[in-house]
Amino acid sequence: MQRIRLRYTKRGRLRFTSHRDFQRAFERALRRSSVPMAYSAGFTPHPKVSYANAAPTGVASEAEYLEIGLAAHRDPELLRKQLDESLPPGLDITEAVEVRTANFVERLEASEWQLRLAGVEPAEAAAAVAAFLAAETVEVQRMTKNGLRTFDARGAVAAFEVDSAQVGNGNDTGTESGSDVRTATPCAILRLVVRHATPAVRPDDVLSGLRATADLAPPVPAEVTRLAQGPLDEESGTVTDPLALDRAAAPAGQ
Amino acid sequence: MTVESVFPRLEALLPHVQKPIQYVGGELNSTVKDWDACDVRWALMYPDAYEVGLPNQGTMILYEVLNEREGVLAERTYSVWPDLEALMREHGVPQFTVDAHRPVAAFDVFGLSFSTELGYTNMLTALDLAGIPLEAKDRTVDHPVVLAGGHAAFNPEPIADFIDAAVIGDGEQAVLDITEIVRAWKAEGRPGGRDELLLRLAKTGGVYIPRFYDVEYLPDGRIGRVVPNRPGVPWRVSKHTVMDLDEWPYPKQPLVPLAETVHERMSVEIFRGCTRGCRFCQAGMITRPVRERSITGIGEMVEKGLKATGFEEVGLLSLSSADHSEIADITKGLADRYAEDKVGLSLPSTRVDAFNIDLANELSRNGRRSGLTFAPEGGSERIRKVINKMVSEEDLINTVGAAYGNGWRQVKLYFMCGLPTETDEDVLQIGTMAKNVIAKGREVTGTNDIRCTVSIGGFVPKPHTPFQWAPQLSAEATDERLAKLRDSIRGDRKFGKNIGFRYHDGKPGIVEGLLSRGDRRIGAVIRAVYEDGGRFDGWREYFSYDRWMACAEKGLAGTGVDVDWYTTRERTYEEVLPWDHLDSGLDKDWLWEDWQDALEEVEVEDCRWTPCFDCGVCPQMDTTIQIGPTGKKLLPLTVVNS
Ligand code: SF4
């Protein structure tokens, strides 16, 4: 069985798809594009697809990953194109690599997030970030299935800064020099790197942390985008490509 | 009127609501056309939540039929949940379409499809959010024509104040005809304003414009007569019937939602209408005659539809799918064709005979084997004669015996409570039947691990059926009768544990009954309920019986009639019924005779296989029964892989 790892996006209005919504849409795309899926054995066979670390509903992403098993061999790039055409624009398959290595999910050590805070002055955001980073621990609360839980949002943060370039990520929210070009109101863009830990610390937890440490309360909900997930370079606080190992292991000529 | 997308304003609200994906549109196979390139624009609404509304076949068909036309545009809109409604009011965002997020008020026609009367308050919510006056009389030439269709439109009198027009019957051709009238009127510069447009529609004889009819009441509260108040407006408005379904293979490109909906499958309508003559069934009566899609037509729709959607299940839809003249060849043909692709087939069927087990075996070949469902509807032989559901207990026992013998472990049975002439004894026999079913299952399988679930709904008399004159059972009496049945089932030592018991209390049925057989005076009640916060009345968690009763008392004050008058009262032959001027084709005298036959426990056959028994539809509507067999087969297709 050939296995292929895919990177996909949730862009624009399709950031409102939940993980379940995406799963259904993806499995239908598999059927429409006649991908020769491998099926699980058993009473109700289902296609072999495994998903890793889905971003929450309402959060955009440039870097979601999944893996599929095929019953017949396919060229990864052709397969990528075929699937991408079958999915609605916004759910895009951006990379496909044949699986050569194990333990992929363990390689997803951290995520890089972009937080776009409309109505917040970059200087104010920078001060809040500094206060957050200066704290040893930042206690936040979140509603979970088991009720309200309190945990530390600081420990998992590997990097956090105001994006000096102040450039949007291309999803029609272009921003320049600290203000939103559409409305000419101030806008701060933050870059955040969070280690995948237990309990998981999500961007909204860090935002709650900013409120707790620096009383920063954006007037409108932050627009959050996952830019990358993968191995963490602790030194530089950057996230690297999780598919690099598979590419490197590919036989020459591919 | 600006027709800019409201999406930027809506988007800011979406992070705060449940299931935001339902409001963003962009479904596979949806269409966004250029506003300015079109001269007739329809907003189509299914007035319930997206998850229920999107899979609705009627809306999907009209959406595609209209969008296929040059210069015509159709977009969809659904009811928003109360969380978003509150935010939209706070931020001034109007009711929008999910396709291009255009405000509903900007369209020429606002068409609503009502499969049930419980969507009426949702219509008022949508009108109000859209900024369209609730009452038709307050609208100007710039407001859309508010048009009702669907089964509930066969008696649109309770919503007569709120709609401008209603169409009864099949919509495919009707929407195109209406489009042409609107187009011509607009092209001429909208002469005579709104009034003239409505008059042109009324004169076709196929569009009902409530304001062109006056209702006169008798001193005792009954209707005296309904008269047209304009020259050229017909006394009766006729239903539309599409003949030759093969010419209307819609939906060709079924919508595939991203959000989860109630039916995660592709549906193909295999025939329309039903002539079995079950006397409680409004759908069967008003969709006559039977018109089959051919086996090859069905095969093509399934093939194209699966390609276009990627669904993993196909539903073969109709009122009684096992009745298609070539159903065995259809199911076998499709099961063969898609054996490799793991495509499941499903077939809603109420027919209780052994033939169904063969079908069920065929259908479950490629997929899972879930429970089997049958609908004897009535517990006793006597009551089944009253409702003309010709099933004997012996048939049922044999059928379920065959099902258990073929490996099914779960059988579900549907019944109704509150049928005309019903007594406690008739309902208690539902329990007896369930016990006999389990006994048979144990005998056939040699195990005690057998389940049977009985599911019971309250009977609501509907317009255009022989039971339109019948008294409805009060909510209290329904609840008492069901409580007796529950106790007798629970108290049974030998079988009680294996019988599942699902039922609805009698209260929603009374409201449905009030709306089903209501007249124009009920409009005030609907409005009062809406203003009091009534929404999503088809949803248990939102429905409030007490609110409906309180508002009915207020709304009907001074009329001399009340909820009981509309629901539990029996009507006489002479009484003018609120929907008598809407012609479903059924001869009123024939319906009355059938009602008398019901009381005498006399059954009628199905006119598909016996000579016509003169229900009136075919001559009245100039239609005929269209059934096979065509003798054609479905051949397996070889899937060409790229
Ligand atoms: S008119 Fe005759 S053939 Fe037509 S539906 Fe009625 S009974 Fe059947």
Give B192-209 pLDDT, tens digit per residue. Answer: 999 999 999 999 999 999
Tally DSSP H helices, then E strands, for chain B: 21, 18
Distance (Å) from the C-alpha of residue A106 to the closest C-alpha of chain B? 30
- Contact yes or no for A44 and B367 at CB 8 A: yes
Q: How far are the Cα atoms of A118, B577, B605 from residue A177, in angstroms, in the given order?
A: 13, 71, 80
Count CB atoms within 10 A of the CB of residue B498. 19
Q: What is the pLDDT of residue B354?
A: 66
- Is the per-residue pLDDT at B416 higher than 90? yes
- Is the per-residue pLDDT at B357 higher than 70? yes
- Contact yes or no for B258 and A58 at CB 8 A: no
- CA B205 from centre of chain: 24
Residue % of chain B over a pLDDT of 90: 84
Q: What is the pLDDT of residue B366?
A: 67
The set of residues, in sequence order, having a beta carbon less than 8 Å from that of B291 and lying 6+ positions away, is B242, B243, B244, B245, B271, B272, B273, B623, B625, B626
CB-side neighbour CA atoms (13 Å) of A73: 0
The set of residues, in sequence order, having a beta carbon less than 8 Å from that of B325 and lying 6+ positions away, is B292, B627, B628, B629
- Contact yes or no for B28 and A21 at CB 8 A: no
Amino acid in the structure at residue B331? T
Q: Give which of B598, B636, B560 is closest to B277, Cα–Cα.
A: B598
Region B415-442: what's the mean pLDDT? 96
Chain A and chain B share a number of CB contacts under 8 A equal to 73
The span from the CA of A151 to the CA of A142, in Å, is 8
Distance (Å) from the C-alpha of residue A61 to the closest C-alpha of chain B? 16
Give A-chain residues touching B256 at CB under 8 angstroms: 25, 28
Q: Which one of A17, A32, A70, A92 would you mutate to disrupt binding with B, by most B Cβ within 10 Å of its Cβ?
A: A32
Tell me which residues have their CB closer than 6 angstroms to ligand 1.
B 275, 288-289, 607, 612-618, 625
Distance (Å) from the C-alpha of residue A31 to the closest C-alpha of chain B? 5
Residue of chain B whose alpha carbon sits nearest to that of A118: B12
Q: Are B249 and B301 in contact (CB under 8 A)?
A: yes
> Beta strand B109-113 with A139-144: parallel, antiparallel or unpaired?
unpaired
- Is the per-residue pLDDT at B237 higher than 50? yes
The span from the CA of B290 to the CA of B285, in Å, is 10
Q: What is the pLDDT of residue B269?
A: 97
Query: What is the mean pLDDT, run by run of 10 residues, along chain A of 254 residues?
Result: 95 95 93 87 82 93 97 95 93 96 94 95 95 95 88 95 62 48 78 93 95 92 95 94 92 64
Can you give the pTM of this predicted structure? 0.93
Q: Helix, strand, or coil here: B360?
A: helix
The span from the CA of B370 to the CA of B409, in Å, is 9
Q: Are B637 and B424 in contact (CB under 8 A)?
A: no
- Contact yes or no for A21 and B21 at CB 8 A: yes
Tell me the ipTM for this assembly.
Answer: 0.85
**Choice between A200 and B577, residue whose per-residue pLDDT is larger:** B577
The span from the CA of A205 to the CA of A152, in Å, is 9
- Is the per-residue pLDDT at B246 higher than 50? yes
The span from the CA of A161 to the CA of A174, in Å, is 19
Q: What is the pLDDT of residue A174?
A: 42
- Is the per-residue pLDDT at B158 higher than 70? yes
Q: Helix, strand, or coil here: A24?
A: helix
pLDDT digits (tens, 9 = 90+) for B23-74: 999 999 999 999 999 999 999 999 999 999 999 999 999 999 999 999 999 9
